[in-house]
Structure 1
Amino acid sequence: MIPLQLTLKNFLSYRETTLDFRGLHTACICGANGAGKSSLLEAITWVIWGQSRAASDDDIIHAGAEYVRVDFQFSSNSQIYRVIRARNRGRNSSLEFQIENGGDFRSVTAKSLRATQEQIISYLKLDYDTFINSAYLRQGRADEFMLRRPNERKQILADLLKLDRYEQLAEQAKDISKQFKGQAEQLELSLQPIEKQLEQKDTVVSQLTDLEKELIKFQLLQESDREKLLQLQAGEHQRQSWYQQLTWQQTQYQNLLQDCERLKTEQIELKNQIAELEKFLDREPEIIAEYQQLLSLQQEEETLSLKFQAYQDAQQHRQELEQQLIQQTNELNLQIQQRQTRLESLQQQEQELQQILSRSAEIQAGLEQLRYHRQRLRELDDLQHQVSPLLQRRYTLQTNIERVQARLTAQLEQLRFSEAQYLEELAKVPEIRQAALAVDAKIQELEKKQVYQKRIEEKGQERKSHKERLQTNQKICEEQLEELKEKLKLLQIPNPICPLCEQSLDEHYRHNVIYKTRNEQQEIQEQIWSFQEQITAYERDLQNLRIEYKQLQEELTSYTSLQQQFGQLEAQLEAVSEVNSKLKQVREEIARVEYLLSSELYAQDLQTELQLLNQEIQRLNYDEQTHALVRGEVEKWRWAEIKQAKLDDASRRQSAIDAEKPQLVAQIERLQTQLNQLRTSSEIQRQIERLERYLNELGYERSRHQNLINSLRQAQPWQLRYQELKQAKQQYPQLQNRLQQLEQLLQVRLGDRVTMKEQLDSLIAQMEKTTDNREEIQALEAKIQQQQRQIDEFLAQQGRWEQTLTQLENLQIQYEENCKQLKEVKKQYRIYQELAQAFGKNGIQTLMIENILPQLEAETNQILARLTGNQLHVQFLTQKAGRSNSKRKNSKLIDTLDILIADARGTRAYETYSGGEAFRINFSIRLALARLLAQRAGTALQLLIVDEGFGTQDSEGCDRLIAAINAIAADFACILTVTHMPQFKEAFQHRIEVRKTERGSQLILSN
């Protein structure tokens, strides 16, 4: 990735700026601390990957702004790309990805932000983690790799190389191998009972032959008895037919008797209804006369209702007109009252204005005093502007001198504190050595418990595997049991179908199959009970193993902390040898700082400048108290300026009042005239009078109307009587016809009753002559059923033996298939077991680290040689000898990643090198790691960013570091270095100066 152009809008300290990288090969980004140098680099990581040092995306938005936008153009693999990322505060981000095509950019943005991000990484072949650990050497993280413990370094290297993928593959291979192992054990267990069952095949064939002979004998006897039974059943069937016919005739005779009684009852009821109608028809003249009277009253009520409606409308119209008259009168009264109130208010304002206008001379005198004191205040303000910078500079110098003194005092206290710490460390050496021995003994004891815990875990896995196999077998048996239940349900249906051959079963074979199925069902149920007992036993064992495992796990929780504690104690013992030399250096530094403080020989240039400033301040002779008094006089006489403004306003208001008062008086008189006319001669008043005359002429009486309504209500029932009379005239001939039909039907039913009685007597006589054979039939049926039960038992036994023989044949096929499957499962188990070892930490992962370390070591030493003039050399070790033990003759090799650093005096620890030397070592290792990671990501490392301080380097070290960067410049398309030290500006081809202003950070590009 080669940067071309970066445009920022409201990003961190930048308001709006653009940086063109074209033509930049090696460039230095310089500026004061906090100016925004690192923010340029954070903008690149945010726009491409959406990540930065900020806790949230809203934090990168410039203070006071509502949105942020970064536009970045770069080239990769000879293709130019453009990425635009923007965000509004409190909302989601937007991402645009474009590719240059013929001078213009073409969008290749995906449907979602996540898909677009994945597309950018796919084109770049570089993710965020690889970038910050390769091309981007971030500030403050140069020594992060070196300061880790050896085993942690190896883990960091594995993480950078993304070897965790192989760890996941190893875990997956282990899980799959465990599954195949469990399948193999389950198959071996399932083969044992099959072999025992196959041994019973010869016995089953012999038993089946004997049973078939007995079955044929009983079937012949049964056929003879069935023929005799059929003859007897034919005679009994004829007798039952006559009996059913007699029963039906008796039922019909009873129904006929009930029908005759019902017709007689209905005849009586109709005669009663006809008599009632004749009485009602006799009142016809009276009902017609009352009905005519009702119609006359209704006609008169309609006439009065029309008059009432007209009376109501006229009353309502008069009320509306009276309301309008009242409303207009009130409006005129309100207008008159408003103008009178305004006139009174103007008179009161006129009195107040006269009081203000009377103080005109006093206000003019106050204004003269105000002008004089303001002129004096301006003179003192000019003098203050000259003195203020001098006072501020004096305060700054005094603060800096006090700060130097405080820094020396704090340094002295820190040195004395360090001296006390070194003395305490020397006193604790015997105690630390004894503690290390005690921790080592505890670690050895816990290692033994780890071995025992592993054995418990293996036992638990074994019990769990057996339990799972039993649960599988139990599930199979339960499924078989459900199938047998379904089979029994099918056999309960009349004329069932055989579940095996799909042919109809007769009664004999059906009982045989049911008996055999129930026996098989009982056997399977017993197997399920056996499996449940064994599962319970395994669960009890597993519970005990879990309790023991948990106890050991709690005891082993301190194992890691003890190892860390032992490593810390060893490091403390190794560091004791340096304490004496450091103590001597601290005491020399204490003596030097005490001399500076006692003689006040610090900050000499600041003290000289302070004396000159005090002389200049005395020459100007500025008095802050006099300045304050004059400022008070100005505030004192400002009332005259305020009063003058009020005086001018009073004059304007008096003129306006003089013009408005005559207009108000004329308006009041005009409104009074309109009010008098409205009450006497208005159109509304005339309409009201006309309505009153119309009401008098209408002549409507409310009492007469009410009496008529009451009479009409009393006569209303005669309308119902009239309707009932009409209905009675229609029903009377219908009821007479119905009565004649009932009498004719009753005569027919009586004749049918005599005929049916004769038929019943004839059937009873025939039944008495027929013989009853039911007892003989029942005895013969009982004998046949006994024979059928015996045959069913033989058939059930035959079915069981045949099913057993079929099961043995199926078991033989299953046995052969299971043997083949067992062979294949064992093969797969061995394959995945080997894959788990190959993908594990001691397999491909270790091999990859060991293969890459020589390349990393050679690359590091090549860069380090340029930085140190071939004075330092780095070596990586992946194994070392473990702790010696009196009980063990040979020490065990431990996996590690130690870094040995050698110079002209030999090999020394990393901590013994100075800050400049340590930085050069860190820089070399980080740069070598950067190259290797970029190569493994499948992309060339064309951009290098060094965001590290050079303050730890002396002049020669800085020259070597700059020379090394320039020496490797040919390997990169663009190198950016970040520093706040001014002396490095001229060391690079180009400079990008960052300055912080009121308008945000600004960039200045120079050669």
Structure 2
Amino acid sequence: MIPLRLELTNFLSYRQTAVLDFNSIHLACISGLNGAGKSSILDAITWALFGKSRSKSDDDVVNRLAILEEGTAEVKFTFILEGNAYRVVRRKRFGKSGALEFQVASGDDHWKTLSESKMRETQIAIEQLLRMNYDTFTNASFLLQGKADEFTTKTPGRRKEILADLLGVSQWDRYKEAAAARRKEEEGRMQLLQGQLAEIEAELAEEEERKTLLAAAQAELATISERRAVKEQLLQQARQTETAVKQQRQLVQTMQQNLQREQRKLHDLQQTAAQRQQEQTAYQAILAEAATITADYAAWQEADSTLQIWQNKADAYNRLQQAKRPFELTLTQERSRLEQQQRELEKRQREVAAARDEQQTVTQQLAAGQSQLAQLETDLSALAEQEQAWQSARDELHRLQSEHKLLAQQVDQLQGQAKRIEALRQEETAVTQNQQAAQTRLTDLTAQLAALAVQRDQYSRSLADRDSLEADQPRLREQMNKLKERIDRLTTEVGGSCPLCGQPLSEAHRQDVLAELQTEGKELGDRFRINKERLAALVQEVADLEKQLKRLPQVERDQQAQQQRLAQAEAKLAEIAQTIAAWEADEAPRLAQLTAQFADDAALQAQQQQVNQLATAVQEKVRLEKAQQTQQRHVSTLSARLTELDRLITTWDKEGEAQLAQVAETLLAKTYASDAQTELARLDAEAVALAYDNAAHEAVRATRNALAEAAPRYQQLQQAEAAVKPLQDSLLELQQRIAEQEQSVAELTTQQETAVSQLDTLTANSGELRTIEDEVYELRETESIRQRTVGAAQ
């Protein structure tokens, strides 16, 4: 396969269409920075040919920007194989199924499609053309990035399959299977021909008997043929009769349909005539009441005119009532406002009366509260000195407690260090054991490395010997072959000169030279066999040494690990020894000293007792201070309330009482909203002048409603007068058409009955058709059997 052209669109990092033309290129190197798209070019080739690449799925090969625009990834790959140009086009849209086209060049810029009906079948066709699949391609002709050892890491069985595909061995297996199938087919045909030949020879032995049977069979066949001809003539006549029956039955059906259609027309005309007759009767009934309908209509017109006059007055009266509503609303709102103001002022009047009574009570409570507050201040002054002494004692107690707490923290810290020192002593024992184990293991590994070094030297010598013998053996074989050729030439030569040295070839000379050549051949053969045995031993020895030397990297890694382990153990032991020495020199004596100080708490206990004794007086002072604060809040509340009551009473005496008297007088005299009252009076006068009577209006309305049917009845009378004459003419025409239609139905009935009678006659004469057909069928079957019998006999 020789690549010619590669086109990439929306494929991996290639957003725009990129074209690579391989014409006139024999060796190419693709170079560029990381991520420039070098590997994408090779991925495009494998994806086009096999639908596979380094990406996990086909969706991953679509360019990310193209996905946002719903673009399609497309790769076109053109190549030459066995003198023909082929093109593979593969497309994929994100989240959709892909498309695959396979084409072959059929002329200038013309391509013939080789695609199958299904994408999978097209892929199989491509792989059959290339004679390799994706695995074979990537293990032989193409190395994936980061997978150069793809072939070597496969199992032996898989490597054998790939090599077989590359060398075409599998193709010879298919040839072998095809040849075996063809051989089996030909052997079957040979057996069939042999069987037919045996049957023919057996039949030739029965020739006379078969001639007799043939004559009898021919006579019987002639009789059956004559009977079949007679029956077929009868069958033709019966079928003609059957055809006439079918035609007559079709005629009867057509006439029946025509008769039904004419009967429906007659029925429709009769229904129309009945409807027109009902309409005429209704119109005549309306015309009989013409005088009454005319009088009622005149009375309805008069009542309607009178009702319109009263309706006009009602509309004017309603407009006046509508005009009064804003003024009535203004009057109502003003009266409601004054009444609400009166209720609020009366409420304040009651509140002021209650405030006058509350004023006396609050004045008395305020005097008693101030007296209690003075007594509390006296008692608190007496307790101030005791509180000062308690405060000093408590400060001293806090100082002693802080010092004791600090001692406890220091003791805890040192005790924690003591526990860590003890843990270090235990760890020191474990690390010492680990150091000894590492030293022992290191000594063993050093001995193993020394032994492997000896084996490595031996391996190098054995490998050199093996290579030398492998190179020497072909040379020895070639010398032996040449020597054998010289012996053969000397043995077969008769007379003349010696083919080896050119001297006259006598028998003595022949034997001398042969003896010399055979001796030299024996030495070469012995040397070749010795070398072969030595080479076999060296091959085994090299294999054994290679097996042993495979352990060398692991042993070296183990030695390095043990050396690191030993160094870490020694460093850890030094660190532990230094830490323990520092503890025993400084921190251990200090822990003993601080523990003794912490146990002596006599001064702390004495100070605590003194604070408890002074705390009683302080608690009493706290109680008195809370009582003082409560009493102060109570006195402040009473003072504020008394001030509020004074303000409320003073404000009412100055303003509220006069406002209440004025509002009550205004409501009693109705002197509010004077403009609205004036407009209401004017509108009431206009309503009286209008003289609208609602009872008279309703009476006229009832009269007109009682005559509501007069107008529709008058319209019906006008319609009846206009429709009577055309309706009479229409009835006469319908009666004439009904008579004609009845005559047509009678004629069609007679014709249909005649056709039915003829059909019955024909049907009675065609009953033997099925019997004749059965007889003809049986005779034809019998004739066919006899013909095969005659054919077999012939």
TM range (shorter): 0.3 to 0.5
Q: TM-score, normalised by structure 1?
A: 0.32
Q: TM-score, normalised by structure 2?
A: 0.40
Please state which structure has a larger fraction of its residues in helix: 2
- Structure 1 or 2, whichever has the larger Rg, is 2
